[in-house]
Structure 1
Amino acid sequence: MTRLLIVSDAWHPQVNGVVRSLENLGKTLAGRGFDVRYLTPEPFWTLPLPTYPDIRVPLPSMRVIQDTIVGFAPDHIHVATEGPLGLAARTLCVTRGIAFTTSYHTRFPEYLAARLPVPITWSYGYLRWFHSAASATLVPTPSVLKHLRRRFFRHLALWSRGVDLSAFSPGPKAMFAGLPGPHLLYVGRVSIEKNIEAFLSMRHRGTKIVVGDGPERSALMHRFPNVVFTGQLTGSRLRDAYRSADVFVFPSRTDTFGNVMLEAMACGTPVAAYPVMGPIDVIGGTRGGALHEDLAVAVELALGISRSEALKRSKDFTWDVAADQFVGRLAHIKRRAEIAA
């Protein structure tokens, strides 16, 4: 059995694309005979992230990390995030000469600059250094790969994403019946980097609905009293929200992918978004949704797309294909004695 250790600063109770991607990857690989284990913030003390207290930052112990690696004796190590835990794991691997891979999920420099006066070049300098030690850095789309190459990142490879079509599928409209249509839906973190204000301030008929939670929720509820804020939904309630919407609106300009777009399309709901990194790769020139620099125009175009066409596009993204890409770039650990040294 092949043993894979995934190290990630992002884990439950966080609800985001990174956590869902790593979980779905693990489930897919387990079905192929992999023994997948996660080293997450759970065994460590954590502190609230400044300006975003819902996210806890781990204070990792090198001893715990080393003991985990020695005890599990993985064939492969993947460092999924660039936070304190990922940095500690990277340090141990580099010190011991252990090969590993990394992945790039989040445009952290842009997110940080939206909250604090930190130059983007500084943040990209750190990320370039962090990933330089990996045998490969896995990125979600061709657009991200080109973006990072322009910033002199090396050893880049594609690792796309998928959608679980057994969990997300078309169904009856069970929600929003009493609200004026069309029903325009956003699902995700309610935070400044998601650019939700662009969606909520957009002039368009119908009802705008926001599913999710985050630090900007209270302020946006106060500013946009006509918008329906449901809070976080999971399971069947989340599926019902996707199925009941007429258009899924994805206003972010900084996401590297956007798993929620796949979930919406798998439920038959077309997407409206800006023609930027993420939507360009997920929607592109297909009939899964519409892209336009005027978000209201994108919504109007998306309203003309059939639900069957949106569903068809979602089927282009499977976790089996994504797992093939991931496994194909893993680095094999050959010198086990160095792990225990």
Structure 2
Amino acid sequence: MTQAQAGILAPVPAQARYVFFSLGACSPDELRSALSHLQAHVDGQNVVAGLGPQLVDHLRSRIPLLREFPQLKGPQFEAPSTPAALCLWLRGNERGELIARTSELSHLLAPALQINHVVDTFVHQRGQNDHGRDLTGYEDGTENPENGEAIACAITQGQSAGLDGSSFWALQQWQHDFSAFSKLSSQAKDHAIGRRLSDNEELDDAPESAHVKRTAQESFEPEAFVLRRSMPWWQVSPQSRDQSGLMFSAFGCSFDAFEAQMRRMLGMDDGISDALFGFSKPLTGSYFWCPPVKQGKLDLSLLHIPS
């Protein structure tokens, strides 16, 4: 039986790590060997794996709909493209277990794949609906599709063996400027998001630049639904200053819905930039293919790697 990696559809964990890998100096056969080792250690629940286009290209293979994150630029702001060969989303309840798992997996994949970036994330103020909050205090994931609708928008179905059960994953690390955010009035903050902080109600009188209006999934043609699994991140800079923001994570049955939303946020269609850019900016942008799971292991048959 083929199915999606379970962590994609599950609620976000208490603690997580996004571990990004680059390609080492390896042959396609050496890379396939490393991925074969990875198969036995990725259950799709505690570790979700996403393979980047450059990894697939190195294996001289092709995954339909997989492409690199585009460099998108609007009238005022832009979304950078920072490709990676592989991303492992490590999910758990304790930071220590994630650190240990990172070490184990990095040794397993070396030297074919090498860590080049790690982002530690966590849940902030999880509510009864299982949604957490962004560090600005606003609830994240309010309009997420659920149950069958989540599967329909995030998981590929009815295509072919090896592709069905997979997902296309967009990742962006957004850094918040809390100095700029704190200078906004309560009303200005609510209008930037498009919801009231106090009760999470959508504002009828929010401006067209409000984030909720820019990304209203049902307002696109065709509708642009994605399954968000974003989490706040935090780290200390070399200058001993706090740096933090949101690791934006969206799963879809293609990248089209995410890309449509990102283009509108940047004002590429109508010249109106998302108010979010007034206090936050994307530092990274990358696309990955999350293979399905077959008999408890990653199904990498499209890469000519047997289970």
TM-score, with structure 2 as normaliser: 0.28
- More helix, by proportion: 1
TM-score, with structure 1 as normaliser: 0.26
- More strand, by proportion: 2
